[in-house]
A and B are shown apart, each in its own frame.
Chain A
Amino acid sequence: MNIIETKKVCVNYDKKLTIHDLSIQIPKGQITTLIGPNGCGKSTLIRTIARLLKPCDGSVFLDSENIEQKKTSEMAKEMAVLPQSNEVANDLTVQELVTFGRIPYRHRFSTLSKVDHEKIDWAMEKASVQDLAKRRLSTLSGGQRQRAWIAMAVAQDTDTIILDEPTTYLDLTHQLDVMLLIKELNEKEHRTIVMALHDLNHAARFSDQLIAIKNGYLQTCGPVNQVITRDNLRNIFNIDAKIIQDHNRPMILTYNRWRSGESA
């Protein structure tokens, strides 16, 4: 069953058509990763699915319902979004940040309920930031900060979590931490995950389905083994990749620029 579906979506961004006629399906309960070169439209697609951008043509469906018809407050209970650049102007504590995740459930002027407090504690525990609860974000390392943001998305208690390049700027240990956390949220908490990633090996190792985009067009999509192939990578990234199998998943050992004219 598909939780998110786009039908012939076109998106204008800065007066340029950045997404063309894109139809994709995102299955419920799986990890779906968008891959593609810089500027291919990954972030635009993510923001369109999250209703942060309005498509100029076509529609996006969440649980078979057109998101245009959904209330913003309802969307926030079904889908948590972690944008690419998440800054805070005030130097909040981790707990204050995670508390924001409960906003969709709060009524005007009401204070935090018992359920809110439980969900906040649970989210911080899931993302292993409970020991950092009182720390200010500016005092955290990049990896800790990203886990705090993920905790906020978890506290939002939605079926679907959308993440735009959640591992950017992190060192490889912290990247792995974040990926394992996302995998755990998917397996143990049954969250549907949609994310954009640059690291193809992470995409291959942690995803169920990949969607490859190039120049705003859908290039190819499907199970990891079908998408990460030498031919596809040549078409999408213009690279010549050496792919091996590791634990039944493709892994890119090394890669070079593709030189046209050389024999494949």
Chain B
Amino acid sequence: MKASVKYSLQMVIALVVLGLLLMLSVRYGSNSNTGSTVFNSLFHFDASSIDQRIIRHIRIPRIIGAMLIGAALAVSGALMQSVTKNPMADSGLLGINAGAAFMLTLCFTFFPKMSTLNTTAFSVVGAAISAGLVFAISSLKKSQMSPTILVLSGLAISAFFTAISEGIALIANLKQDLAFWHFGGISAVSWAQLERLGPWIIVGLVVVYLMSGNLNLLSLTDDSIKSLGKNITAIRLISLICVVILSGVSVSLVGNVAFVGLIIPHIAKFLVGTNNRKVIPMTILLGADLTVLADLIARTINPPQETPFGIIISIVGVPFFIYLARRDGNQL
């Protein structure tokens, strides 16, 4: 089969899967609905029906949220792996998760009455601050930003913020409140949050898609990239800013979701090869597929209790990842 035909087919399949998952997600959850209730809640909304209100005000925003976040985290992982030339990298390495958790801890401790909308905004700021610190430290050396120093300073800043927030949480007795955030939960995503934060994710994804050709260059050495006439620092900086926006927003919305950023880009590469013009769109779709699926399982596995979907992602994703790694180890 011709490569372009194969790629189109794969994209169509990933899209169809996403469509099916979205439909299932709207119908099933802690309570299940008939197709007509779903249809009416979308097109003939009746505010007096509880089922329709649940679908329209709770379920649809969280599903859209899951989709956007999955795409954002997966693309962030792909960017980090390209920028650091490290197949094990994800956005956590920029200290984003730790910075967001730190701000959230501060909010819970000092402003316990703050609305979710505002705590989310603050944790985006926290993510940006810690990522900014990581950039600053790794650019201190006069030569260019080296991937190794970036990873090391990311680890250091992460450890620092994690230590402080755990200390504060311990003193203020917040362990319980933060636990759900640490496992990753998507239940609280509302229309208001989506309106405020969704556009950032969409803009970020579009920017990454437009620069996906340039990402291919990052697999060369800095000298080679420069002698091809490209500005390596600009490519790196734009990539990292996109990572901060995409994963900062996601982590603030749903908490510490591991593995999406790590495994999805590898699965995408396994399917479509190493060209980022193909890898990035596939990563976006597969990321959305995985989180929507995980969210669906999280809601239906033990109703009406909700299982943190970060746990589901690890349980679904890791065995598949190990299978891929063993089957085709040299692709990683």
Contacts and interface: CB of A to CB of B under 8 A. Distances in A.
A, B assembled together: yes
B221 A85 contact: yes
A156 interface: yes
Contact of B226 (A52, A74, A100): A52
Contact of B230 (A72, A90, A91, A109): A72
A103 B230 contact: yes
Interface stretch (B31-39, B92-100, B212-220): B212-220
A104 B229 contact: yes
B264 to A, nearest CB: 16
Contacts, number: 68
A181 B218 CA distance: 28
Size bracket of the A interface? 20 to 34
Nearest to B84: A89
B223 interface: yes
Given A90-B274, A91-B274, A96-B274, A76 B218 contact: no
Contacts of B275: 96
Interface residues of B, number: 22
B221 A86 contact: yes
Nearest to A50: B227
Nearest to B210: A109
A88 interface: yes
Contact of B220 (A51, A72, A76, A88): A88
B56 interface: no
B219 A88 contact: yes
B229 A76 contact: yes
30 contacts: A47-B223, A51-B226, A52-B226, A72-B226, A72-B229, A72-B231, A73-B229, A75-B229, A76-B227, A76-B228, A76-B229, A76-B230, A81-B227, A83-B223, A83-B224, A83-B227, A86-B224, A88-B219, A88-B220, A89-B85, A90-B216, A90-B219, A92-B219, A100-B217, A100-B220, A101-B228, A103-B228, A103-B229, A104-B228, A109-B213
